[in-house]
Amino acid sequence: MARSATVFTCSSCAHESVKWHGRCPGCEEWDTLVEEPRSPPPGGGPAGRRSAKAIKPTPLGQVQAPRVGRLSTGIGELDRVLGGGLVPGSLVLLGGSPGIGKSTIITSALGNLATAGHKVLYVSGEESAAQVRLRAERLGNGALAVPIVAETDLEVVTATLEAERPDVCVVDSVQVLHAPALTGAPGSVGQVREVAGRLMRVAKARGVAVVLVGHVTKEGALAGPRVLEHLVDCVLSFEGERERTYRTLRALKNRFGSTNEAGVFEMRDEGLVEVEDASARFVAEATRSPGSVVLCAMEGSRPLLVEVQALVAPTELVPPRRMANGVDRNRLALVLAVLARHADLAVGSADVFVSVAGGVRVDEPGADLAVALAVASATRGVPLGCGTKPLAAFGELGLTGELRHAAHPDRRLAEAAKFGLEGVLAPGERLPDLRAALRAGLGAAAERHARAA
């Protein structure tokens, strides 16, 4: 009987089996066997061992590290998140929800690279060449100059890369390519692992910067095996809501740059447009209504002013609803608990809705104080501050009610001052705890509430 070209390997204990089992015979875990190509038998030596020549280690100080010029995509926000541009020979994974704008931004980037004289290639597995052309028509003449190959066979794609030798290649998407040597369906664990491994070898050997577009799960995480994120050099996540115009690009992993950067884009008729000063948009739309406060947030190394809105409404539902849009729901629950315990502001019989305007998501702890002030203002029906400008705030809440330091306070304050937002509420000697912040933000209404309590 001919030997099978593939083997089923357990992703938990690495047990190998010639056929698939629902339960691994080695560790007895369920649904962990994935199909992989069988490794060639080792040659030479007794018992299958082969001789290998030892190599002499080299101190890191003596290793030559040549400077590699980056390839600018012509999109400033994308280049900044990448760390200055695409590195030749690197493998970049771009993930995001369907319709968020992944294909739009990479098509624009390829068009800019082609206009700059670089050789590019677009490998489309999900759409035909005609469909991609319809999308590229609104992106300008540069995008129409991008050569495209509509193919899902991995062997054909790698042969095309070897023949064309582009500077940058985009594969849209990695989940639809399939390796003929494996019998699994495209998108399966074994297929994605094999496709990414083969493309990585071609990228490193030929100096091609490869951008892989990846699907995401319903929870928003990148689909496929975890090894896919370990193989690539950079993992980018495109966040936002299709119903909103703003999108945020973040780096979850970057071997050639910082993971603390984020880019903001706006979806328009002509495609994704960079938003270089997003704070101006959000501050202009902010109001002084009860439940509204401006948050001085940090998106990587860049300060960003966004509006946090809260709505507190009585309800007969048990338990009441807690909905958060743009902030972590668990963090909202923590803020509500601190408000009830240390500020005598109980909302146990009311629905609480908190949202960051514009579809921006803020995950940093420095948003705690702004959320607390917005909820308190909405509960009492009193607007924050006393001037014509909306009130701005930032700071982390401790479980004992104290205000804790937030990173880069000087940059946050400078960004607020640029738009005329004076008297920003921030942790310090003047505001040591939550009660002091509520008195400063709500003024006389807070004093009346404190006396009544």
Crossing angle between the packed helical segments 368-380 and 434-442, to the nearest 10 degrees: 50
- Is the model's pLDDT at 234 over the cut of 90? yes
CB of 167 closer than 8 Å to CB of 203? no
What pLDDT was estimated at residue 224?
Answer: 66
CB of 149 closer than 8 Å to CB of 122? yes
CB of 86 closer than 8 Å to CB of 71? yes
Task: Name the domain boundary from 216, 247, 276.
Answer: 276
Looking at the domain assignment, is residue 48 inside a domain? no
Same-domain pairing of 202 and 291: no
Sequence-distant contacts of 425-432: CB under 8 A, at least 24 apart:
425/369, 425/373, 425/391, 425/392, 425/393, 425/394, 425/395, 426/296, 426/369, 426/393, 426/394, 426/395, 427/369, 427/395, 427/396, 427/403, 428/403, 431/395, 431/403, 432/402, 432/403
> What digits encode the pLDDT tens for the residues 412-422?
999 999 998 87
Domain of 357, CATH number, reads: 3.30.230.10
Looking at the domain assignment, is residue 82 inside a domain? yes
Average pLDDT of 47-51? Answer: 58
Domain range for 22: 1-38
pLDDT band at 72 (very low <50, low <70, confident <90, very high): very high
> What digits encode the pLDDT tens for the residues 174-226?
999 999 888 778 887 778 888 999 999 999 999 999 999 988 876 667 766 67
Same-domain pairing of 309 and 435: yes
- Is the model's pLDDT at 169 over the cut of 60? yes
Residue type, 133: R
What pLDDT was estimated at residue 292?
Answer: 94
Looking at the domain assignment, is residue 54 inside a domain? no
Same-domain pairing of 183 and 300: no
SS3 341: helix
Looking at the domain assignment, is residue 216 inside a domain? yes
Share of the chain above pLDDT 90, in %: 53
Looking at the domain assignment, is residue 70 inside a domain? no
Same-domain pairing of 182 and 318: no
What is the helix, strand, coil percentage profile of the chain, to 5? 30, 25, 45
Lowest mean pLDDT among 77-91, 101-115, 176-190: 176-190
Same-domain pairing of 297 and 375: yes
Looking at the domain assignment, is residue 306 inside a domain? yes
Tokens 């042969």, located at residue: 159
Looking at the domain assignment, is residue 49 inside a domain? no
CB of 168 closer than 8 Å to CB of 209? yes
Average pLDDT of 81-104? Answer: 92
In the chain, the number of structural domains is 3
Q: Centre a 10 Å sphere on the Cβ of residue 394 and count the other Cβ atoms it contains.
A: 31
Task: Name the domain boundary from 238, 254, 276.
Answer: 276
Domain of 246, CATH number, reads: 3.40.50.300
Opening angle at CA 334, ends 331 and 339, nearest 5: 130
Same-domain pairing of 110 and 217: yes
What pLDDT was estimated at residue 90?
Answer: 94
Same-domain pairing of 332 and 358: yes
> What digits encode the pLDDT tens for the residues 265-277?
888 888 888 888 8
Share of the chain above pLDDT 70, in %: 91
Opening angle at CA 404, ends 406 and 299, nearest 5: 20
Same-domain pairing of 224 and 252: yes
- Is the model's pLDDT at 88 over the cut of 70? yes
Same-domain pairing of 121 and 219: yes
Same-domain pairing of 330 and 354: yes
Looking at the domain assignment, is residue 66 inside a domain? no
Average pLDDT of 430-436? Answer: 93
What pLDDT was estimated at residue 219?
Answer: 65
Same-domain pairing of 325 and 444: yes
Same-domain pairing of 260 and 287: no
